Structure 1
Amino acid sequence: MRTILFVFVTLVIGFAMCGENAVICYYGSWATYRPGDGKYDVENIDPLACTHLIYSFAGINEQGTVIALDPWLDLPDNWGRNNYGKFNALKEKNPSLKTLLAVGGWNEGSAKYSKMAADASLRKNFIDSAITMLSTHGFDGLDVDWEYPNRRDSVHGPADIDNFTKLLRELREAFDKHRFILSAAVAAVEDKAVLSYDVPAISRYLDIVNIMSYDMAGSWDSFTGHNSPLHKGEGYNGREEDNYTVELALQYWISAGCPPEKIALGIPFYARTFTLADPNNNGVRAPSTGAGPAGPYTNEAGFMGYNEFCYKMTTETWNKRFDNSAKVPYAFKDNYWVSYDDANSIAIKINYAKSLGINKMMVWSIETDDFHGVCGQGANPLLKAINNALKGNATPNNATDETEEGANTKPTASPVISTSTSAPNPTASTQFVCQLEGFAYNPQDCTSFYRCIRDSKGALVPKKFQCPANLYWSQNDLICNYSYLVQCNLV
């Protein structure tokens, strides 16, 4: 009878989880400590933009007990910030919102999790303490982010594969009594995933399988490459790394036995940066000497949040390209080369995922979206692009011509109602006079707008942006929108 009840409860929860579109958003809590406009606290989260929010990260101690990694930030004790409480209070603004606590992450390593999963008493400590943590602070579930079973500093090696399955099975049995959600973040590409997972087995116990379909190239490589290409791109010629694509990752997980309705496609809200060995050789798979520039907020060489890079593209002269094979953009300036995703490439990926029966999208991570809306697309343009594409409100442009040499970005997507899905094309204006910093409507043309910034001498300088075709600039909403939703007052 107990087995029947377990199967029934699992099926009921699983059906409820799998039946609807989902936007699953990781929140990196350390963004609280970032400087200036990069600071992102719980109060910055839009609780209506995601169906699931995952707080990153908790960890474990040597006894397998789940612990807060930043007690002052996470907990209310000893005059702490109580981020756990604030995070779960977001459900007061959106009662449908589900919150999860992620345990693990890259910095936690693999060794402690390898030891814990191999020992029955440590697994029990992990499960019991997880339930206490979730219940005490009001989370709806747990996301297991062990990076990775049988890899890195693993203690038990190949035994991790079965031990991970055992851990998830025992979590599932315990969680069903509390109706907790159970998800996991997993390696995407086949040659890494086969080292870590029994895919059919773990899929049986998980409600959501978060596929980390990014970091497919980076400054650790000796050549430039796309962070998260949908398909094989320009310059691919049969090397092992050429199999690192979203397409092949999703096909592997489905063919290996993971139901597509449980899969959440991971979408990066960040760029990978490279330094070119030769600035004149600036295509995909061009020789690289290492990491490119860090962003001013994330401060990590070879990495830049979308908010950091889109601002660079609006204030500096970058050459943008679109890889028509991989269906993602890249950009270069001098000896720097950057791979990133924009609203258009995200919509293309989502349409492909939907064709496979995948209706869940995962975001890493919301604090590097353009949450202040400084790049001319309104606040949180990537998150809005995901929601629009899931609802079928975005029609991406699958083939984009290259921009002219020395130009900034140009529109690469068809319009959607809630936000412009293309990067703007800023040009200097000699006629418009800025009154204040920020965005301003063009009194002579409703299809364009200005952003006023200060130059090195502190003077206000206007940069002109063009909305995508058929859209008008809305000064009230600070986005490009359909003309019938915008009041256009020309001089």
Structure 2
Amino acid sequence: MGQTTLSSLFTFLLIFSIFHNSRCQKQCGVSDDRRGGPSRVRAGFWFSQYSLHSPAPTIDTSLYTHLYYYSLSLDGANSGIAVPPDQVAVLCNFSGTVKSSNPALKTLLSVAADGRQTSFSAMAADAALRAAFIASTLELARENRFDGLDLAWEFPSSPADMANLGLLLEEWRARIGEEAAPSTLLLTITAYFSNHLFDGPTTDGPDYPTDAISRSLDWVNILCFGFHRNGNATANDAALFDRTSHFSASYGVTSWLDAGIPPCKLVMGVPLYGRSWFLKNKSKNEPGDPVVAEGPRQKMSNQSGVIAFLEIEGFLKDPGTKSVYDGRTATSYFQSGDLWVSYDSPQVVEGKVRFARRSGLLGYFLWPISFDDSNRTVSKRASGVWLGERESQGGGREEERFPEGGAPPLAAAGGGGAVSASAQRLSVTGCRVVLVCGLLCFLSGWLWV
């Protein structure tokens, strides 16, 4: 009797584990091509505001599988999408222009809103306004030959906003599914680096609606940078690892995985800009040392404290400027006089892309591609590493390694709320774990019998 019961139990576990694994694969698009999702994503955000400096025809489209047109905003009067007059022609020609050199390229139209835009919060809270917004985005995407849509809401600031975001995404996906168009539009969001919003380790912010996200989206672009926009000390603004706080890309990726988003629906952001400060004392020039102000306003960004990679290269040409690589956080920084800059060097970008690959993520995105230099140095490095094209001096492909003193993929970020490395690895392979457990149970029952 006991043997029969155990055999039945083990058989149930085996069947359940296979079903669960199939469900996970389906969630990752392995057996479900309904949305036409890609197997891998090498994306770039093209900012329309920089179209004079970096016109669409000059983009090296061979480096990307997906390009985002960033961005349009909400018309608060009718919850439609506002297209500025100077963007009409650029928007209309964008997809055709970039696809002329890479027909396989997918283009997505990104609609952006910051946390201060109350009209967006109001739209998400009203069913009729959500419907108007969705209809407007679909019409605009189809008219201008885009392959998908993206929502860059930075950031829903309350539990109500997050709940309404979930409703919006589900209704958006449903409306896309009802279209009679020959191809299904992709649907993504560009989100906070963590699934939980916080400004510091003790801030109790809202969580993203991960169930709705997992059901409705093709993937999530996570903004793994901009960690230290303000402050009175130098800091690594886009650290891959940080064992002393939440503010790292590895922590952010882990938080999304632990919230239930599969790795095949995560695309990790890599910045093509640096964060700058003026040092209080030029002799104190390491991360955490005091500053007196943000760095100067730069031509490309038109923002204080934000410097494009192509502008960073100008500083690095000075023989007196030395770039330092910090293996503990996988970041780079340099000092030029009393100016201190944290940035993603090509070496840092290579490490981040390897991290994304080894963690099983869907891909990476560069933000914004207009900030790369004329040789596309960073973009080429990222694409080459992702495709496995960078070879070691010995003639084979480079071994995927991380800096001494750094951390392995999904290692604990440290600080309050950081989870163990074993728990983080479990998040990445969760779909397989249940299958393995079921098989072990079945074998144990067979041996017992």
TM-score range, shorter chain: 0.7 to 0.9
Aligned Cα RMSD in Å? Answer: 2.4
Aligned to 1:326: 329
Give the match's secondary structure for 2:251. Answer: helix
Compared CA separation, residues 400 and 256, structure 1 to 2 (3 A): closer
* 2:376 aligned to which of 380, 385, 390: 380
Aligned to 1:214: 225
Contact 2:91–2:144 under 8 Å retained in 1: no
Aligned to 2:345: 342
**Cα deviation, residue 293, structure 1:** 2.5
Query: What amino acid is the match of 1:224?
Result: T
Contact 2:333–2:342 under 8 Å retained in 1: yes
**Cα deviation, residue 384, structure 1:** 0.6
CA-to-aligned-CA distance 1:160-189 (integer Å, 9 cap, x gap): 111100000011011123400000000013
Give the match's secondary structure for 2:283. Answer: coil
Q: Structure 2 matches for 1:348-427, cutoff 5 A? A: 348-370=351-373, 372=374, 379-394=375-390, 395=398, 398-399=402-403
Aligned to 1:136: 143
Query: What amino acid is the match of 1:346?
Result: V
* 2:191 aligned to which of 186, 190, 205: 186
Give the match's secondary structure for 2:44. Answer: strand
Q: Whole-Å Cα distance in 2 between the matches of residues 280 and 13 of structure 1?
A: 57
Contact 1:272–1:302 under 8 Å retained in 2: yes
Q: Whole-Å Cα distance in 2 between the matches of residues 14 and 251 of structure 1?
A: 27
**Cα deviation, residue 254, structure 1:** 0.6
Contact 1:63–1:122 under 8 Å retained in 2: no
Q: Whole-Å Cα distance in 2 between the matches of residues 214 and 61 of structure 1?
A: 28
Aligned to 1:101: 109
* 1:59 aligned to which of 53, 67, 73: 73
**Cα deviation, residue 158, structure 1:** 2.2
Q: Whole-Å Cα distance in 2 between the matches of residues 230 and 82 of structure 1?
A: 35
Q: Whole-Å Cα distance in 1 between the matches of residues 95 and 35 of structure 2?
A: 26
CA-to-aligned-CA distance 1:286-313 (integer Å, 9 cap, x gap): 1112201333332321000001111221
Give the match's secondary structure for 1:295. Answer: coil
Which has the higher relative contact order, 1 or 2, with Cα contacts under 8 A spaced 6 or more apart? Answer: 2
Is it true that 1:24 corresponds to 2:43 in the alignment? yes
Higher helix share: 2
Is it true that 1:88 corresponds to 2:91 in the alignment? no
Taking structure 1 as the reference length, the TM-score comes to 0.69
Contact 2:74–2:113 under 8 Å retained in 1: no
Aligned to 2:394: none
Q: Whole-Å Cα distance in 2 between the matches of residues 304 and 227 of structure 1?
A: 12
Q: Whole-Å Cα distance in 2 between the matches of residues 181 and 143 of structure 1?
A: 8
Give the match's secondary structure for 1:88. Answer: helix
Is it true that 1:205 corresponds to 2:216 in the alignment? yes
CA-to-aligned-CA distance 1:253-303 (integer Å, 9 cap, x gap): 011111100100000000000111111110011111220133333232100
Compared CA separation, residues 192 and 328, structure 1 to 2 (3 A): same
CA-to-aligned-CA distance 1:118-148 (integer Å, 9 cap, x gap): 1111011001111110111111111001111
Aligned to 2:121: 114
Taking structure 2 as the reference length, the TM-score comes to 0.75
Give the match's secondary structure for 1:250. Answer: helix
Aligned to 2:255: 252
Compared CA separation, residues 191 and 120, structure 1 to 2 (3 A): closer
Is it true that 1:303 corresponds to 2:300 in the alignment? no
Contact 1:57–1:69 under 8 Å retained in 2: no
Q: Structure 2 matches for 1:40-55, cutoff 5 A? A: 40-55=54-69
Compared CA separation, residues 15 and 351, structure 1 to 2 (3 A): farther
Q: Whole-Å Cα distance in 2 between the matches of residues 161 and 400 of structure 1?
A: 39
Aligned to 2:409: none
Moved over 6 A (4+): none
Aligned to 2:273: 270
Structure 1: runs of 5+ lacking an equivalent = 1-6, 34-38, 76-80, 152-156, 373-378, 402-491
Q: Whole-Å Cα distance in 2 between the matches of residues 25 and 105 of structure 1?
A: 19
Q: Whole-Å Cα distance in 1 between the matches of residues 78 and 187 of structure 2?
A: 18
**Cα deviation, residue 64, structure 1:** 4.8
**Cα deviation, residue 62, structure 1:** 2.0
